[in-house]
Every structure is written in structure tokens, then in C-alpha cells.
Amino acid sequence: MTPLLSTQNVKRHFGGLKAVDGIDFTLYEGEIRAIIGPNGAGKTTFVSLLSGRTEVSDGKITFAGEDVTRLPAYKRVQRGIAYTFQITNIYPTKTVADNVRIAVESRASRMRDARFDRTAATREALSAVGLADREETLAGELAYGHQRLLEVAMGLALQPKLLILDEPTQGLSDPEIENFLALVRQIAKSATVLLIEHNMHVVMSLADRISVLTRGTLLAEGTPQEIRDNPDVQAAYLGA
């Protein structure tokens, strides 16, 4: 497999707090990778470093063969990294469709193709997450779980090379989670997926490989079965 994203000795310290403390990490094209770990392990800080939302204290980040360590978040979006937040990051007073159109316009500005159909791209993203029938609803009126799906649609509308999902199933019902699993498998046909997730059913069902963080460091990596059987992971996180 071809590496899409890698980090070398990446660190983020907040004073004496070592939120991320020297992680070497490689993500491959077409992979579904899950990041797990106990609360405070540094998971969200780590993906914030990858997306450019947080600056690194030290180390290097490479994406699609380019050193992006010092690139701001919007330039990483232009390179093909889309990040949905642990807490919904939508425009509540705009319609569902208008939220997605914002992402579509960002994609259009990069393409500079007069033939690009913005309306079709918006509907395609909404259909993918099951929100096509709610396009004129104000985003703030959606149930929380549907707001999370709207945020995924906004990420998809960017047509990213890498889609980072932070706690995507939080607030979803069991049937919605099963639909989400099918959605991610579909997304993975055209994009690499990196997700932080606490729901172990989701992690074990989706992930090709799992990375386990604890105290800002990488504890273990492997297939779902390898992680399930790892005694260090059991002690630190799975509680077995």
C-alpha cells in the first residue's frame, strides 16, 4: 500500500502537559483506520495536528508526499484533508443544503471548472448520508445525530483524499449507527478514512487497522483481532 499520511516524532505540549509526545504514524491510501484510547490519551489533539487546527511543538507531518507540518488548516483542506469535529461544527441558522453548499463552493474554487454542477454535488453529498429529504430544514432544527451526519456530508462535499471523523456515531441511534457503517464502507471506496471512536462495535466492524493511544504516545497498532488480543491494550483501555 502507498502511504498517504505520516508523522515523525510529532509532539504537542501545553506547558508541562504532553498531550502528544513523539508519535510516529503511517496511514495508507484506501485504509479505514481507527484511533482509540482512554479519555485524555491525546486522540483529538493528534488529529487536530494532522488537520492543521493545532500547531505541532515538534516533529514532521507529510501528506501525499508533501511536508504539510506548517501549513494552516485551510491549505490542508485544499490538499484534500477534511475533518469533522467531535462537537458539531455546522451553521445552525442556515438550511441543511446551504451548509453543504459552503463546502461545495470551497471545492469549486479549487477546481475552477465552469461545468461543475454545484447543485448536483450538494444533493449527492446529502443523499450519501440520508439527508436529501431535509435539505430545506434549518440545520439547528435537526436532531443531534442528524447534525453529525450533516457534518459528514459537508466533509464529503469537499471530495477529500482523507476524511477524519471525530466521534462520528455520538448521538446516533442503533439503526443510524448501522447505516453509518455502510456509509463509511462506501466512502472508503474513494477516500481514506481515519476515525476516533469509542463505540467498540463500530471500531471492530469498520477498521482495517487500529492505533491505540495512551498518555500522548502510541501504545499499539494492529488488526482488530490483534488489538483485541493485546494484553497491554486490555490493561490500558479495553479493561479485560
pLDDT tens for residues 133-144?
999 999 999 998
Q: What is the pLDDT of residue 238?
A: 59
| Count of domains for the chain | 1
In a domain, 126, yes or no: yes
Query: pLDDT class for 236, splitting at 50, 70, 90?
Result: confident
Mean pLDDT across 61-69: 98
Instruction: Name the grid cell of 206.
Output: 469498520
pLDDT tens per residue across span 69-126: 999 999 999 899 999 865 568 999 999 999 999 999 988 877 776 688 999 999 999 9
Percent residues over pLDDT 90 in the chain = 78
What DSSP assignment string belongs to 26-59? EEETT-EEEEE-STTSSHHHHHHHHHTSS--SEE
pTM: 0.90
In a domain, 8, yes or no: no
In a domain, 139, yes or no: yes
In a domain, 184, yes or no: yes
Q: Which of 9-23, 165-179, 187-201 has the lowest mean pLDDT?
A: 165-179
In a domain, 3, yes or no: no
| Residue with the three cell numbers 487536530 | 48
- Say how far apart CA 97 and CA 114 lie, in whole Å: 21
Strand stretches in the chain, DSSP E? 3-14, 17-28, 32-36, 58-63, 66-67, 81-84, 162-166, 192-196, 209-214, 217-222
Statement: residue 160 has pLDDT above 50: yes
Q: Note whether 94 and 103 are within 8 A (CB).
A: no
Instruction: Name the grid cell of 221.
Output: 497498532
Give the range of the structural domain holding residue 147, as residue numbers without chain letter.
31-53+72-238
In a domain, 209, yes or no: yes
CATH number at residue 135: 3.40.50.300
Instruction: Name the grid cell of 69.
Output: 507540518
C-alpha 10, offset from chain centre = 18
